[in-house]
Structure 1
Amino acid sequence: MKRRDFSLAAAAAVAGSATLLAGLPARAQTQAPQAGKEYMQLAQSVNTAVTAGKIEVLEFFWYSCGHCNNFEPVVAAWAKKQPADVVVQRVPIAFQQNANYIPLQKLYYTLEALNLVDTLHIAAFETIHKERKRLNSDQAILDWATSKGVDAKKFQEAYNSFSVANAVRRATQLQDQYRVQGVPSLAVAGKYYTDGTLTGSFSRVLEVVEYLVEQERKAG
């Protein structure tokens, strides 16, 4: 989902996601991506949340975004194959400060706080896109979580906690700093931003990210 929509080429690329992932090299072997065309370099770097020697990759997403739903299994599988110096983190976005976005930001960080991302992150996408149920209110999200066997009190405490509220504020700050125009999109090392509209396909997005990671690795 974008302020400007993804290209049809990007959407079509997801249909072949299994083939896409299998064909990705460890590092891009195609023509080197061009700055300003397939990725943007920030005028001012953003502080990262990783230790020295690590390279941060951020995945910006929104649970209600159909493209994000399709891309998530691809990027998740890709992330698992990255070397130890690459740290991939998800960032739920909010293009508007309303119920379509903020509860879903809080949902992700609540799952993270309760160590339930591996169990329920994909389930949240499936609830919205396969079961066609809306998770656009605090109560709807609580009901969903309890239906998945999560203790209601623990979920509510985490959902309404300062740490989750702070994480949501940080996510929106990152979104603004990277000037995110839509999702899914990725950022690298506090310096670079790319998405399917810039590259033309999801597979190329990941190739561009791998290229940028390698440039950071070489720079030391």
Structure 2
Amino acid sequence: MRQPTDNPLWTDVDAYLNETLISSDPILESALAANAAANLPTIDVSPTQGKFLHLLALLQGATRILEIGTLGGYSTIWLARALPPEGHLITLEFEPKHAAVAQKNIAHAGLAHLVEIQIGPAADSLAKLHAADPKPFDLIFIDADKPNNPTYLEWALKLSRKGTLIIVDNVIRDGEIANPASTEPAITGTRAMFEMIGANQQGNARLTATALQTVGSKGYDGFTFALVTGD
């Protein structure tokens, strides 16, 4: 993947947007600092992307959110802040170390009462969630290991309702998503996910979807947005 510093203009524009539109936030800044101190990978969404997720959750009127891939809880905080007092966010994290850092960050943000972290392989956690027959989620954010994107999409559909918004991060992969010859698991997994989405828009369509390319301090990548339109 292209490194964020490859295009200084993208970083400069992100810095301008952050300064102009994103208020200084000690809680979120503290979360990023804690992630760095714990040597977590620097793959959190950017501040503008975090606020974008926050706004989508608000527009969705979400009261139940599922996040697949917690890392240090930066995006979790953005999403949880959009919940009403009775809301609930379940976030899934494979690495116990990451989950421990996220738990502290979420508590520091005053959101522990809204957020439940489940530790372990996400596919196993998703199967348990489905077996428990929970209420469907209003918004599902997928930002975990990319080779398993098809599996995560399949479970997201099972845990959704008509009107659920499914968002998938890191789907452009520096443009490699358009390379059918790629054998990189992150690319093949994401391409398989796109094909699943396309198939679910055919005939008795269950989804309507699009994807957007993004550039910025996180490099060249993008998001997929899929609205559940049928059963």
User: Do these two structures clear the TM 0.5 threshold for a shared fold by scoring above it?
Assistant: no
The TM-score, its normalising length taken from structure 1, stands at: 0.32
TM-score (norm 2): 0.30
| Structure ranking higher on relative contact order (CA contacts 8 Å, 6+ apart) | 1
Structure whose residues are more often strand by fraction: 2
